[in-house]
Structure formats: structure tokens, C-alpha cells
Structure 1
Amino acid sequence: MLVALGANLVIAAAKTAAGLFSGSPALLSEAAHSVADSLNEVFLLLSLRRSRRAPDSDHPFGYGKERYFWSLLAAVGIFVLGGCFSFYQGIHALGGTEDESRSGYVAGLAVLLIALLAEGASLLKAVVQARRSDEGADDPALRTVLAEDSTAVIGVLFAAAGMVIHMTTGNALGEAIASMAIGALLMVVAFTLGRTAHHQLIGVSVDAELRDGIRELLLGQGEIDTVEELLTMRLGLDSTLVAARIDLVGGLDSERVEEVSLRIRRDIHAKWPTADRVFLDITDAGTEREARTTRERRAIDSDASTPEPEHRQ
């Protein structure tokens, strides 16, 4: 990722220099896009380093969610630095009345061609890595890199198209539309990444297939009568919380219950290595159902006894 960061910084500097020289709003929008990508890669590097810290007394479940937090900041960076600035460039180009110079557009297009080749190679590498990785869909860092590289390739094509239209027609409208298209694209990507990071940051369960697999394993234990409740939450890419309330068959002494609990934890972790936080709550299903029914009845009685507010005439 350090190599990708260095490449992005060089591309951002080249786009900025070419954009200032040519005065192209589309090229300046792409420069802002590259600056946002560079800042986001700094965030992702921080997330990778901080999320690997070992659990401590203040964070007993570890720091796995650091990745989601920094991914959320990266999404904000894409939205503000990339999307908003690109929209500003497009609106500024629409409002301009002077005939803008096109003297530096050839150099600008050359810079965009080099950027397209670099971003395309980076995108191809990220796609291959995602296909090889079992956690590609859940890794916020890899997902952000894929989104950045994809939008970078599309953004370069938008900017080049706008510049070519400007060169051939002498009208800056094409570049204005290209700049706003880049801004809209970045805002959509930022919103999608931010929503996903927020969803994972506040706590999300594992996928239904894994959850059903854990339930099936529990029900397959001869000592378990019923699984009253099964709760899961992703603590990070390599850590998952599993909490199950189970009712055991009768006749088991305390020592046997302890042996069964230890074996179940080991079986779950052996089959799903990321399920490293497994908690079993041994309960009496009959007593639990009776208590739940009592609570529900009390809630119904409480609602029925609450007087309705009087309506004023």
C-alpha cells in the first residue's frame, strides 16, 4: 500500500500541475480526486496498523473495528475533497464567460493517459487480490481500494472526454459536465462506503449462512435440547462474537456441563477460526419461556391500563 500511496501522490502532483497550467476544470477535479485518494490511503494504513493491536483491559474484544472507523473517515474524505470540489469546479466552469485557453490541454491529456494506465493496473491488482481473498467482500480496506481505483479509472475517462470536447468545440460546457459527473460519482461512492462502514461500526451480525451453520452445529450436540437464542457480531475481519442461550438435556452434573461447554467452544472455533469469542449461557427453556410469557402479559396489561389522552373539543 505504501507503493500505491507514493504513486497516487505523484499522479496527484502531475494532475495539479497540468490542471493549473491548462486551467482545465476537469483536470483540476481529477487532481482533487487523486489528493482525496492519497489521504484515504493514509487512513487505510492507519486502520491496518491500529486494528492489529492486541486486546487489553480497556478493549477486551480487541481493536478490529478500527478498520471500520478509518474507512468511514476515508468515505468522508472522498465526499468532501473529491466530490464537493469537483462540483465546485463544474459550477465555476458553467458560470465562466471568458474563452478559456487550451494551450496546455495536450500535456494534460498526456498526464491523464499515464494516470489511466497506472490506475488501471492498480484496479486489476485489487480485483485479483479480492478474488483470491476469502474476506475480500468484508475487508473495508480492500473494498475502499477497489472503489477508489474504479472511480479513478472512470473519472480519468470523464475528464479526458470533457477536455477533448473543449478542444474540438471551444466550449467549456463539456468540461463542466465532466467535472460535475466526477463529483456525482465520488459522492455516490462515498455515500455507499460510508453507509457500509457505519453499518459495521455499530455492530453487524455474521451472514445468514454462517449463523445457520453455528445453529446446526449446536443442535447436533447430543447434550443440547434446544437453542433458545443465538447472537453474533463481527468484531473485525478475524474476530467474531458468538453468544448462545442453550437448554441442555436433563441429568447432567456440573462437571459434565463444563466439559460440554468447552467442547462446543472448541468445535465452533475449529470449524470457523474467526469465531474466537464464544459464550454459552446455560438456561432452563421452560423457565425461560414462562418468564418471557409473564413479561409479555405484564406489558399488555400495562398498555391496557394506560388511559388514553383526552381530546379537546
Structure 2
Amino acid sequence: MSAGGGTKAILAALVANAGIAVAKFGGFLFTGSSSMLAESVHSLADTSNQGLLLLGQRTSRRKATEEHPFGYGRDRYFYSFVVALMLFTLGSVFALYEGSHKIEHPEPLESAWVAVLILVIAIGLETYSFRTAIKESRAVKGELSWWQFIRQSKTPELPVVLLEDLGALVGLVLALGGVGLTVLTGNAIFDGIGTVCIGVLLGVIAVVLIVETKSLLIGEGANRDVLDEIVGQLESERVERVIHIRTQYLGPDELLIAAKISFTESLSVAEVAAEIDGAEKRIRASVPAARLIYLEPDLDRGRTATA
């Protein structure tokens, strides 16, 4: 995926969440619903999160410097990690606190129909944002399941937007249920229960994102299929075997490859250099993300000792 991959999904989520946040907060002022307040904070956090994801995409494109010789590709991982933390603190923790407070001290809702109308409209907008994220993700996930895509994707923005939008949709349904039950029963405790459910939902999503983005931030290697492809491109008639290989993503579109290769002993220095150049070209043609490749020629001492 290109450096701007997922930008359309992020922008769709940004526009949708900004409008929804304003509408929800207005609904809270009319009704006093804790579910509406929790959802307002949730949408406000999501809006800020989309801005952080866009900022990460922009800063990651900075050129390498002497201080950062491998560039700034991991900025996208850093800002995605911050987004996960914000979703947990601003979304989950606040909703749990507000919901618990309303369960202990329930208050009647005013103009509940306003909240219902806003929630229904918000569900429509979030559905549009979620469909955009799904469409963008399908173009890159290939044959992976959705869970595998979230776990294995090296591009952090799309899994973040997907889970955020999913959480927003389910959260809106929970808020609608809380408000609806409060109206039907006259018992405002259901509004608080709906808010607590939203908090639990956001907490689970935030923890999944924290775990996955942390793994990317500290450095992940290539998936097994990509690694096998790289090894396959390294092998040739003049390569006895790949002694060992290490890979690490410096960013979603930049893979570092370091390998020690055993060449046949009859090769001259010039021939070894030509073989290395050829291997690098083959790898880059097969794995476009392979930007930095360091190949070290060596003798297979294990085989020499047993020969």
C-alpha cells in the first residue's frame, strides 16, 4: 500500500465523526442522557484520532536525516498507538465513569425523541464511514480473514479505522437501546447501563489496538509468505544456501532485509558482487516494500566442517 493508503477511509471517518460529535453533544444538552454524553466524547475522541492518523502519514514522509538514517516511517505506528491510548482513556474510561454515576444516581431524560433521532442519523453516517473503510481494506487484505488482516497488517491506519467505526456503530446501537428502554420503562438506570456497555466495548477495542500497534512500533518482521518469497529470490545456482536472514518493517512501506548468504567457493569477488546485485533487483521487483537490503557473502562453515 502506498504511503497514503487508507487516506480516503480516514477522511470519511473524520468528516462523519466531527458532524456526529456536534449532533450528539447537542442531543445531550437537550436530554441529559449519559449515553449521549458518552457517545459525544467517543465521537470527539474519534475525530481527534483521525487527525492524528493523518498527521502520522504526513510526518512519516519526512526524508531521512543523520539522526534518523532510516527515516520516519514508524511515525505512523507511533500515532496509531497514541490513537489506541486515546480511545481507551477518552472513550472507555469516561463512559465507564459516566455510566456508573448514572446507575447510582439515575436522572430522568428530557426530550428523549431528540436523542433517538440523532442516534438514528448517526448510525447512517457511521455506516457510510464503515463501508468506506471496508472497501479500502478489501483492496489490500487479499485472502486474509478480517481478524487476520487486523493482526497481520503492517499498515496501521486501516485496522484502526475499521475497529473504531465498528465500535462506533455498536456503541450507537447500545446508546439507542439504553435511551429506548429508559423511555419505555421510565427507569433512567437503563441509560446508565447502556453507557457502561459502551465503555466495556471501547475498552476491548482499545486493548486490541494497543497490543497490535505496540507490536508494530517495537518492530515486526515480514510475514512467513513474504519471507519465503525473499529467500526464494535470494537463491540461485551460485548460492549454496541462505545461512540466516533478518527482516524488520521500518514503516508500512519500508522493509529492512539483512541476510548472510553462502556462495560457491569458486566465485571471484566480482562474480559475488554481481550475484548480490542481481539478488537485490529480484527482491525489489518481487517485494516492493524491500527498500533497504544488506547482503553479506560468507562460507557455509557448518557444511565445510562436516565435508
What is the CA-CA distance between 1:216 and the residue it aligns to?
Answer: 2.3
Secondary structure at 1:89 match in 2: helix
Q: Which amino acid aligns with 1:234?
A: Y
Report the equivalent of 1:244. Answer: 259
Aligned residues: CA RMSD: 1.7
Report 1:269-280 matches (<5 A).
269-280=284-295
Decide which of 126, 129, 133 is 1:119's aligned counterpart: 126
What is the CA-CA distance between 1:287 and the residue it aligns to?
Answer: 7.0
Report the equivalent of 1:6. Answer: 15
Q: Does 1:34 align with 2:43?
A: yes
Structure 2 Cα separation of the partners of residues 276 and 19 of structure 1:
51
Report the equivalent of 1:133. Answer: 140
Decide which of 199, 215, 228 is 1:183's aligned counterpart: 199
**CA pair 6-128 structure 1, distance change in 2 beyond 3 A:** closer
What is the CA-CA distance between 1:83 and the residue it aligns to?
Answer: 0.2
> Between Structure 1 and Structure 2, how many residues are aligned?
287
Decide which of 255, 267, 270 is 1:255's aligned counterpart: 270
Report the equivalent of 1:308. Answer: none
Moved more, 139-148 or 115-124: 139-148
**CA pair 3-217 structure 1, distance change in 2 beyond 3 A:** closer
Moved more, 126-135 or 258-267: 126-135
**CA pair 89-218 structure 1, distance change in 2 beyond 3 A:** same
Secondary structure at 1:226 match in 2: strand
Report 1:80-229 matches (<5 A).
80-96=89-105, 100-133=107-140, 137-219=153-235, 221-229=236-244
Q: What runs of 5+ residues in structure 2 fail to find an aligned partner?
A: 1-9, 143-148
Secondary structure at 1:108 match in 2: helix
What is the CA-CA distance between 1:20 and the residue it aligns to?
Answer: 2.5
What is the CA-CA distance between 1:21 and the residue it aligns to?
Answer: 2.2
Residues 80, 156 of structure 2: 8 Å contact kept: yes
What is the CA-CA distance between 1:103 and the residue it aligns to?
Answer: 2.3
Structure 2 Cα separation of the partners of residues 171 and 288 of structure 1:
78
Q: Which amino acid aligns with 1:52?
A: R
Q: Considering only CA atoms, is the larger Rg found in Structure 1 or Structure 2?
A: 1
Moved more, 62-71 or 125-134: 125-134
What is the CA deviation profile of residues 253-303 of structure 1, one whole-angstrom value per residue up to 9, with x for unaligned ones? 11111111111111110111111111111112217997xxxxxxxxxxxxx
What is the CA-CA distance between 1:2 and the residue it aligns to?
Answer: 4.2
Report the equivalent of 2:86. Answer: 77
Report the equivalent of 1:297. Answer: none
**CA pair 239-289 structure 1, distance change in 2 beyond 3 A:** farther
Structure 2 Cα separation of the partners of residues 187 and 127 of structure 1:
22
Q: Which has the higher contact order (CA 8 A, sep 6+)?
A: 2
What is the CA-CA distance between 1:192 and the residue it aligns to?
Answer: 0.6
Structure 1 Cα separation of the partners of residues 269 and 24 of structure 2:
70
What is the CA-CA distance between 1:134 and the residue it aligns to?
Answer: 5.2
What is the CA-CA distance between 1:170 and the residue it aligns to?
Answer: 1.1
Secondary structure at 2:193 match in 1: helix
Structure 1 Cα separation of the partners of residues 154 and 161 of structure 2:
13
Q: Which amino acid aligns with 1:225?
A: E
Report the equivalent of 1:20. Answer: 29
What is the CA-CA distance between 1:3 and the residue it aligns to?
Answer: 5.3
Structure 2 Cα separation of the partners of residues 286 and 139 of structure 1:
39
